[in-house]
Structure 1
Amino acid sequence: MRFEDRAEAGRALAQALRRAGSWSDPLVLGLTRGGVPVAHEVAVALGAELDVAVARKIGAPGRPEFGVGAVTAGGEPIFDPATLRALGLTPRDLAVSCAAEQQEARRRLDAYRSGRAVRVAGRDVLVVDDGLATGVTARAALREVRAAGPARLVLAVPVGATQSVRALRAEADLVVCPHERHDFRSVGRFYRRFDQTTDAEVLTLLEQHHRE
């Protein structure tokens, strides 16, 4: 199973969300950046408001691409305890990296929202990404959204690693993932086109949706 691109994945995910039930005053938050094109299709299909959630990966020292945790603009950082133990690290060892990533999360959130207020409390809020591998950034985003008091908190992804999907059911009221795989390996293998989503594309989709 492979999607042509994130837009096709979003349309497939929207169908699964329609089958999952009805939605009360829904707000769709695309996990930046790759989750936003998926979230756009979901928001259009559900007639929902579209906005973003920003979570930044915390990389291992000397290996920034290897995520050991994640942080949002306003929430507490979270870490994968097993990974920290395997690398002989503590959260204190990552304090500088964590602070830098949180600052970048704040910068991006300000850039994407441009001062626009987003109401979360009392609504059905769907956090959407293009796939779920380790789930560490999704977990950070879900915890920050939960603190804002949504009526129902949903994680929705078109594809995901079975272990991560199961683990995140403890963080969300509902997890919708049409395609779970034990042999997941990476999100990109489920897409024919998996180019990096740019800031410009995120802003274009947000502006387009708000105009509509």
Structure 2
Amino acid sequence: MKRHKENADEGPVPSVFRDRRQAGAILAKKLQERYRFAEKPLVLAIPRGGVVTGDEIASRLGADLDVIVSKKVGAPGNPELAVGAVMHDGSFFPNTGIIEVLRVPQAYITQQIAEKKIEIERRLAKFRGGKDYSLEGRTVILTDDGVATGATVFAAINWLKTQKVKKLVVAMPVGPADTLERIRQIVDELVVIHAPEDFAAVGVFYEEFAQVSDDEVVEIMGRWRQRPGLS
């Protein structure tokens, strides 16, 4: 892939992002070009990498930043293959095709939901201090550093639709075209930079894609914790 070194605010959009912050800066610019927000939007970032991207978006838009956590449920014997994803309230987004092909038992899914809820609540307590949200009437921008199969994003979208938000926008640096089209059909707006038909992995689109630590997320969210509008 050809790599550009231009500043995020100038020149062509790079085919490979320098890092998550550059991806966030480009997304923020696209959002500013497409929207004139009547009120302060809320950026909801999926940890951990998405919080870095979300921090950049929120800072540039003058928005609020918060985190939303969903956890993938891996297939029996193959934890990287998502059979679905869980939210903090136990709501489950099923990857129906994989569940049917692998004949995943409901008892396995139920056990995984209970286990994942515990981990989600731990993360929410650590990153934002609790699991209560006040989102009614707000314009929400859901973001991550990229999407692949999309199970965690779909789980978050489905939960957000129960929260009476005013408008739900998904802002994503990169993802496969088919997954992004499915997202586009169920949200108010989708803003995306790269949507290749031939998709390998999110990390391929970044020069620097080191794992983000819990401590980095805590540090970022600590800077936002006292700002008005964060629930």
1:179 CA displacement? 1.2
Instruction: Report the counterpart of residue 30 of structure 1 in structure 2.
Output: 45
TM-score, normalization: structure 2?
A: 0.87
Matching residue's letter, 2:28: A
1:67 aligns to 2:85 (yes or no) = no
Residue range with higher mean Cα deviation, 162-171 or 53-62: 162-171
* Identity score, percent: 37
Task: Give the Cα–Cα distance (whole angstroms) in 2 for the partners of residues 162 and 81 of structure 1.
Answer: 20
Corresponding residue SS for 1:172: coil
Instruction: Report the counterpart of residue 20 of structure 1 in structure 2.
Output: 34
Query: Aligned runs of 1:1-212 on 2, under 5 Å?
Result: 1-23=15-37, 24-115=39-130, 118-210=133-225
Task: Give the Cα–Cα distance (whole angstroms) in 2 for the partners of residues 91 and 169 of structure 1.
Answer: 29
Give the count of matched residue pairs.
212
Task: Give the Cα–Cα distance (whole angstroms) in 1 for the partners of residues 130 and 176 of structure 2.
Answer: 35
1:170 CA displacement? 2.9
Q: Which of these two proteins has the greater Rg computed from alpha carbons? A: 2
Matching residue's letter, 2:125: D
**Per-residue deviation, residues 108-131 of structure 1 (Å, max 9, x unmatched):** 112111248643111100111111
**Per-residue deviation, residues 12-53 of structure 1 (Å, max 9, x unmatched):** 111111122122320001111111000000000110010001
Task: Give the Cα–Cα distance (whole angstroms) in 2 for the partners of residues 211 and 76 of structure 1.
Answer: 29
Note if contact 2:17-2:23 (Cα within 8 Å) is conserved in structure 1: yes
RMSD between aligned residues: 1.6
- For residues 166 and 37 of structure 1, do their structure 2 counterparts lie closer, same or farther at Cα, with a shift above 3 Å needed? same
Task: Give the Cα–Cα distance (whole angstroms) in 2 for the partners of residues 74 and 115 of structure 1.
Answer: 12
Matching residue's letter, 1:5: D
TM-score, normalization: structure 1?
A: 0.94
Corresponding residue SS for 2:195: strand
1:11 CA displacement? 0.4
Note if contact 2:70-2:155 (Cα within 8 Å) is conserved in structure 1: yes
Note if contact 1:75-1:144 (Cα within 8 Å) is conserved in structure 2: no
Task: Give the Cα–Cα distance (whole angstroms) in 1 for the partners of residues 78 and 52 of structure 2.
Answer: 28
Residue range with higher mean Cα deviation, 85-94 or 12-21: 85-94
Task: Give the Cα–Cα distance (whole angstroms) in 2 for the partners of residues 82 and 117 of structure 1.
Answer: 32
Note if contact 1:133-1:187 (Cα within 8 Å) is conserved in structure 2: yes
Note if contact 1:79-1:91 (Cα within 8 Å) is conserved in structure 2: no
- For residues 31 and 6 of structure 1, do their structure 2 counterparts lie closer, same or farther at Cα, with a shift above 3 Å needed? same
Task: Give the Cα–Cα distance (whole angstroms) in 1 for the partners of residues 186 and 154 of structure 2.
Answer: 7
Task: Give the Cα–Cα distance (whole angstroms) in 1 for the partners of residues 132 and 151 of structure 2.
Answer: 26
Question: What stretches of structure 1 of length at least 5 have no aligned partner?
Answer: none
Task: Give the Cα–Cα distance (whole angstroms) in 1 for the partners of residues 30 and 125 of structure 2.
Answer: 31
Corresponding residue SS for 1:184: coil
- For residues 168 and 160 of structure 1, do their structure 2 counterparts lie closer, same or farther at Cα, with a shift above 3 Å needed? same
